[in-house]
Structures are given as structure tokens and as C-alpha cells.
Structure 1
């Protein structure tokens, strides 16, 4: 097994990671959201060209998350638009067209006032990030890490259900985004001033 490479600064940050309790929402890979079931969240597996994904770490509480969040009126019910907006707000990320992966069925409606809802998962290319800034909705100022998808699952604390989700995301990224099936294992923090990871498509 190869050694995972990361800096002392990242080691200090990872030492403060606090995992949320594992959610028990059933994962519905490849299934469209049923008519009448409201979509309340859209989170994304955002892939760099080397197969790593963007994860966000809140240094104040150690919580790790994927970019994404709740749908807002300006998204007009489009989970892809919500993901692009949220990724831009949280991480200043520039992403490609999102590909639908499936949804998590939230039967108790913790994201919908106690009514059942869907939490959509998508995959998209990560072209780069701009200068870091606080999320305008929450004020959180995230640290931005590129990690292999399997390690992302570990940091998120999603367990075996999360690993199943990651496998679907990787398969889609290999097929649609041209990333390698085996990701770079190094952990890298993206610079506060922003950076490009790959050229954005013309037009």
C-alpha cells in the first residue's frame, strides 16, 4: 500500500476533523426522483483531472462536506443549477455540467420540515477555484482539499453507504469526464488565492 502524501499543515487540519453521525437515508443510484417527491438538496462529487474530489473542511468545528446545499428559488427546481451556485458560493468553484447520479430518500424530511424529500447527488468536472471567501449564506470560511474519493468517504463519515455512492460517482466520472478510475492518493489543499485545474471548454 502506498503512503498517502500530505503536508504538516494538512495533518494538523485533519487532526481536528469531526464526523457527523452516519445518515440512514436509502441510496437510489440511477433512479429518477419520483414525481411529487420534492428535491431539497443537491450535493456534488466534483472531480479534478487526476480523479480526486473537492471536499470542504470547516476549520472551526472540523466538519467535512461535499460542495452543495439546498435548492433556492433562483435555481428553478434544477439540482444542477443549485449545485453550481452552491459550489461557487462555498468554494468559489468553477464546475462543468453536472451529471445526475441518484438520490437519497429522506423519509423523515429533516431537510423539508418533517415531510419526505429527496437529496440529489451529482458528479461534475472541477475546472478551478477562485480566491477563498466566506460562504454568503452561512459565513463559513472553508478550507478546500482535493482527496481521493475513498478518503472523502472516510472524512465525511459516511461508511459503507457512502462508499457505494462514491463508486457510482467514480464510474460516472470515468465515463463522462475522462478521469482515471484510480485517483491520485495525495491530499492537497487548494491555495487561498485560487487556481486553475484544467481548461474550461470553449463556448
Structure 2
């Protein structure tokens, strides 16, 4: 097994990570969202060419997340558009076409005023990131890490359900994006000034 490598600065950041309690939403891989169930959120597994994914760390509270968030009126009901917008706002990320993976069934409806809803998961290529800046909606200034999908699940605190979700995301990325099934294990922080990640021709 390849040794996980990271810098002293990243080690200090990882030492402050705090995991949210698992929500327990059932994962529906590959199933379309039923017409009666509103889609309220869209989150993405954004892949680099070596199979790693973008994770966001809020250094103020140690919470880790994937890019994504709530659908807004400007998204016109399109989870892919919502993911592209949220990734740009949170991480200054530019992504490729999105690929639907499935949804999480939120029976409590914490994102929908107490009414049941769907939280969609998608995969896409992470094309590039721009200069780091705070999210205009929340003011959070995320650190942007590339990590292997399995490690992302560990940092997110999602446990076995998260691993099942990650496997679906990796299969989609292997098929649609041509990334390797076994990701590079290096933990890397993307530069503050931004960079290209996954060339558009890739």
C-alpha cells in the first residue's frame, strides 16, 4: 500500500479537523429522484486526473465538506448548475460536465423546512481553481485539499455509507473521466493563487 504523504502545514490543519455526526440519510445510488421529492441540495465529487478529489476544510471550525450546496432560483432546478455555481463560490473551482450518481433521502427535511427532500450527489472533472477567496454567501475561506476518495470519506466522517457513495463516484469517474481506479495517496493543498488541475482536453 502506498504511504500517505503530506506536509507539516497540512498535518497541522488535519489535526484540527472536527467531524459532524453522521446524518443517516439513506443512499440511493443510480436511482432517479422521484418526481414528488424536491431536490434541495447538490454536492460533488470533483476529480483530478490522478483520481484524487477536492475537499474543502474550514480552518476556523475544522469542518470538512465536498463542494456544493442548496439549489437557488438562478439554477432553474438543475443540480448540475447548482454544483457548478457552488463550487465556483466556495472554492473558485471550474468544473467539467456533471454526472449524476444518486441521491440521499432526507426524511427529516432539514434543508426543506421540515419536509422530506433529496440531496443529490454528482461527479465531475475539476478543471481548475482560481485565486483563493472567501465564499461570498457565507464568508468562509476554505482550504482546498486534493485527497484520495477513501480519505475524503474519513475526513468527512461518513463511515461505511460514505464509502459506498465514494465507490459509485470512483466508478463514474473511471468511466466518464478516465481517472485511475486507485487514486494517488498524496494529500496536497492547491495553491492560493490558483492553478489548472484537469486540462479540458483530458
Aligned to 2:81: 81
Aligned 8 A contact 2:52 2:149 in 1 = yes
Structure 1: runs of 5+ lacking an equivalent: none
In the alignment, structure 1 residue 179 sits paired with structure 2 residue 179: yes
Aligned to 2:21: 21
- In 1, Cα distance between the equivalents of 2:153 and 2:12? 19
Q: Deviation of residue 182 (structure 1)?
A: 0.2
Aligned to 2:131: 131
Aligned to 1:149: 149
Runs of 4+ off more than 3 Å: none
- In 2, Cα distance between the equivalents of 1:197 and 1:113? 37
Which string of whole-angstrom CA distances, capped at 9 and with x for unpartnered residues, describes residues 156-190 of structure 1?
00000000000000000000000000000000000
1:41 is paired with a residue whose SS is: strand
Which string of whole-angstrom CA distances, capped at 9 and with x for unpartnered residues, describes residues 65-121 of structure 1?
000000000000000000000000000001000000000000010110000000000
Which string of whole-angstrom CA distances, capped at 9 and with x for unpartnered residues, describes residues 119-147 of structure 1?
00000000110000000100000000000
Aligned to 1:72: 72
TM-score by length of 2: 0.99
1:155 is paired with a residue whose SS is: helix
1:50 is paired with a residue whose SS is: coil
Q: Deviation of residue 149 (structure 1)?
A: 0.0
Aligned to 1:35: 35
TM-score by length of 1: 0.98
Aligned to 1:161: 161
- In 2, Cα distance between the equivalents of 1:132 and 1:200? 21
Aligned to 1:194: 194
> In angstroms, what is the RMSD of aligned CA positions?
0.9
Q: Deviation of residue 2 (structure 1)?
A: 2.5
Aligned to 2:51: 51
Q: May I ask how many residue pairs the two structures share in their alignment?
A: 202
Q: Deviation of residue 201 (structure 1)?
A: 4.4
Structure 2: runs of 5+ lacking an equivalent: none
- In 2, Cα distance between the equivalents of 1:153 and 1:38? 26
Aligned 8 A contact 2:68 2:86 in 1 = yes
